[in-house]
């Protein structure tokens, strides 16, 4: 804290294009270290190498994008209601911001927050997940190597209760950006006082497959969305809402493929799916299999771990899932998929929307009317047409509706990390009163 406080004024006063030079350097160093970081990530949290490399790429992209903001960071001008008066806005930093990040994208998500926080001129206290401290240390080392002035970025590792709590409650921290569980998000809102808070919480994402969909395309999208990153993305698809005319055909295609996915070491090219992050996650997956069975859903494949082999859990598919059941309502964060049958487009949309979350959604259809109606009617921060629910690009808004949280991450997060301040310049040489006062 003391280091951040000391460093802030100087960083704030550094012109944004100069701040950007550090971001460009960080980008270059990330490119140089991409393979090393991706390997570390596989070892530390288990995702497969090509996805880990994708994670590092997202970090490269956001540093590049935000470095470009150094020469934009636009304010606005607008006419005054009075003569000889000039009105404009500029962006000023919030001050010291606390960044609390998860383990599932241990390089990308911290970067989504650090890059915009830096370009806006904030000082940072960064607490990564206690499941992935090594990735955080390596990322911060790279940022240090780029020459960022001391104290501008401060890494604090440790648990939520010992490190997260004091950050959330600290009176000198003016802004918080958190990605993680809904419960922690709620805790933050209740304990952060009047800080500016950006929350990216859970979701219960769905892929809709209409009767006219290209089923082969949809199959690839469902496998990728449901089982990529072992289902541990907040954008992961955990419901597939399928038109009754193609339901049984698609179900057979899906189960055949899911059974063939290979679990294993993420550094091996043959591996499709790595392990879950930890024991608690494994137990949670088992728990939801029990819940699904108790609720009367039918288990088609998976439903168990791999004996004697760490935290692996087989790709799991339930059918005959009721849209209101816990299996179809609650975020699991594991490779467990619920298939739901619907009769028409209207039902598809209402089933898709009837969850408390709203991050990512997708529809497979060749019908332009379905596609455009879905774009308007799906209550999610992201909608994909004929593509899966995962794989956002950093320069689009990332964030959701309802309990998914508040604000936007990545490329659209300048508003989260700055205040747009109003500036009035009166050059009339006399006291002029706005609001019609003579």
CB atoms within 10 A of CB 144: 14
CA dist 102 and 277 (Å) reads 11
Q: What residues are paired with 363 via a beta bridge?
A: 208, 385
Candidate list 33, 101, 104, 361; residue touching ligand UN1; CB under 6 A? 104
β-pairing, 77-78 vs 85-93, is: antiparallel
363 binds ligand UN1 (CB under 6 A): no
Comparing CB distances to ligand UN1, the nearer of 125 and 390 is 390
Comparing CB distances to ligand UN1, the nearer of 59 and 96 is 59
Its sign, for the CA torsion 199, 200, 203, 208, is: positive
Number of residues that bind ligand UN1 (CB under 6 A): 10
**Cα–Cα distances in Å, from 50 out to 43, 98, 295, 373, 384?**
13, 30, 36, 34, 22
Cβ–Cβ under 8 Å, residues 182 and 201: yes
234 binds ligand UN1 (CB under 6 A): yes
Nearest to 124 by CA among 62, 167, 181, 159: 167
- With contacts defined by CB under 6 A, name the span among 136-144, 145-153, 229-237, 421-429 that binds ligand UN1: 229-237
179 binds ligand UN1 (CB under 6 A): yes
235 binds ligand UN1 (CB under 6 A): yes
User: At residue 14, what are phi and psi to the nearest 5 degrees?
Assistant: -75, 125
Structure tokens at 407: 């604000």
Considering the candidates 120, 135, 234, 352, report the single residue annotated as catalytic: 234
Is 120 a residue of the active site? Answer: no
391 binds ligand UN1 (CB under 6 A): yes
392 binds ligand UN1 (CB under 6 A): yes
Smallest gap from Cβ 203 to ligand UN1, in A, equals: 9
Comparing CB distances to ligand UN1, the nearer of 104 and 361 is 104
Smallest gap from Cβ 382 to ligand UN1, in A, equals: 8
| Residues 108-147, interacting with ligand UN1 (CB under 6 A) | 109
CA dist 306 and 275 (Å) reads 10
CA dist 193 and 191 (Å) reads 6
Considering the candidates 51, 200, 331, 409, report the single residue annotated as catalytic: 200
Smallest gap from Cβ 343 to ligand UN1, in A, equals: 30
Is 234 a residue of the active site? Answer: yes
Comparing CB distances to ligand UN1, the nearer of 109 and 362 is 109
Q: Which H or E run contains 418?
A: strand 418-426
Cβ–Cβ under 8 Å, residues 438 and 430: no
Comparing CB distances to ligand UN1, the nearer of 317 and 410 is 410
Comparing CB distances to ligand UN1, the nearer of 25 and 233 is 233
Active site residues: 200, 234
Applying CB under 6 A, which residues contact ligand UN1?
104-105, 109, 179, 233-235, 390-392
């Amino acid at each position: 804290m003391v280091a951040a406080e000391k460093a802030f004024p100087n960083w704030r006063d550094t012109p944004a294009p100069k701040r950007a030079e550090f971001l460009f350097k960080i980008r270059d160093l990330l490119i140089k270290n991409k393979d090393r970081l991706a390997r570390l990530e596989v070892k530390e949290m288990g995702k497969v190498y090509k996805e880990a490399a994708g994670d590092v790429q997202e970090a490269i992209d956001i540093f590049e994008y935000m470095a470009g903001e150094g020469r934009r960071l636009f304010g606005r001008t607008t006419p005054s209601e009075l003569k000889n008066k000039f009105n404009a806005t500029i962006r000023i930093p919030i001050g010291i911001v606390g960044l609390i990040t998860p383990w599932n994208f241990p390089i990308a998500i911290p970067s989504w927050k650090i890059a915009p926080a830096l370009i806006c001129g904030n000082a940072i206290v960064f607490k990564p997940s206690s499941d992935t401290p090594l990735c955080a240390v390596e990322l911060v080392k790279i940022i240090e190597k780029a020459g960022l002035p001391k104290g501008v970025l401060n890494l604090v590792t440790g648990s939520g209760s010992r490190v997260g709590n004091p950050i959330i409650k600290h009176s000198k921290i003016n802004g918080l950006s958190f990605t993680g569980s809904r419960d922690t998000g709620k805790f933050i809102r209740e304990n952060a006082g009047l800080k500016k808070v950006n929350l990216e919480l859970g979701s219960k994402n769905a892929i809709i497959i209409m009767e006219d969909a290209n089923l082969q395309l949809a199959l690839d999208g469902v496998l990728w969305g449901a089982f990529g990153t072992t289902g541990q993305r907040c954008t992961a698809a955990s419901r597939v809402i399928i038109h009754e005319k193609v339901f049984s055909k698609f179900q057979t295609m899906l189960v055949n493929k899911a059974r063939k996915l290979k679990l294993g070491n993420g550094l091996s090219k043959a591996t499709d799916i790595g392990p879950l992050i930890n024991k608690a996650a494994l137990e949670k997956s088992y728990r939801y299999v029990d819940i699904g069975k108790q609720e009367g859903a039918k288990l088609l494949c998976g439903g168990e771990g791999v004996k004697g082999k760490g935290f692996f859990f087989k790709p799991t598919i339930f059918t005959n899932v009721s849209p209101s059941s816990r299996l179809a309502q609650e975020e699991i964060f594991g490779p467990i998929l619920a298939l739901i049958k619907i009769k028409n487009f209207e039902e598809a949309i209402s089933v898709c929307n009837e969850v408390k979350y709203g991050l990512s959604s997708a529809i497979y259809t060749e019908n332009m009317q379905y596609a455009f109606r879905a774009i308007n009617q799906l209550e999610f921060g992201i909608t994909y047409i004929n593509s899966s629910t995962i794989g956002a690009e950093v320069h689009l808004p990332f964030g959701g509706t309802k309990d998914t949280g508040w604000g936007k991450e990545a490329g659209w997060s300048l508003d989260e990390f700055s205040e747009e301040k109003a500036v009035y310049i009166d050059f009339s040489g006399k006291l002029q009163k706005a609001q019609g006062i003579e």
